[in-house]
Amino acid sequence: MSGPFAMGVDTPQEGERVGRRTGWRLRLHSTVTIGNVDRFVADPQHTAALSGEIELPGITRRIPFRNGTFQLFVPSRGGGLRLMTYEAEFEHAGARHRFAGEKRVRDDFGFDLMPDTTTLHSRLYRNGDAVAGGGVLRIGLAGLARMIASMRAREAVSPDEAARAMAAFGLLFGRNVREAYLSRPQAWAEAARRRAVPSEAGWER
């Protein structure tokens, strides 16, 4: 995933605007590892491990990160909002940084499944909770296709177990998509209410 990003801003929206104007971008190269699919499906937070590398604006090298977390379809506050969250910590220039991003899955007007599941609203924190930057990352259709094709049940001991694990993940994903996007009358009414009362920019937890 990559997208416009700027340092010295407080919100993803502001970082996206500044990043588009300046050409600054952040790139996230990540791998999600689910150790046990049954536990992952049963966990209400659907938490998995996240590892990979990050490219910061103006920095030519990739910075590795480990011990990150990924969460799938985490329920948030009202309005049927579910979150896909990405968090990772790394060291850079003698400081501890934390990357935090979320995809906001919720049925609004129009067909928004693809934008919701491919758009990561992101912040970068430095030395604790001090916001160092923000922006909006996206993954294109080609990248999404490569990600889906790369999915493997690495700990499965047989083809049947691998197929069962992939099916369990697919059912979890499909059920949440159905619940989020197919109750349209209720979702549209909630979307109309949100448009009538603008919310504060930033996280929607």
CA dist., res. 105 & res. 112, Å (int): 9
The ranges of the chain with pLDDT < 50 are 199-205
pLDDT at 201: 43
Question: 192 by DSSP, 3-state: which?
Answer: helix
pTM for this model (two decimals): 0.81
CA dist., res. 114 & res. 156, Å (int): 30
pLDDT at 132: 96
pLDDT at 204: 46
CA dist., res. 138 & res. 39, Å (int): 29
What DSSP element (H or E) covers 99?
strand 95-105
CA dist., res. 74 & res. 92, Å (int): 30
Beta carbons of 138 and 122 less than 8 angstroms apart: no
pLDDT 10s digits, 101-133 = 999 987 665 556 788 889 999 999 999 889 999
pLDDT at 51: 92
Contacts 24+ apart (CB under 8 A), 186-189: 186/80, 187/80, 187/106, 187/107, 187/108, 188/107, 188/108, 188/109
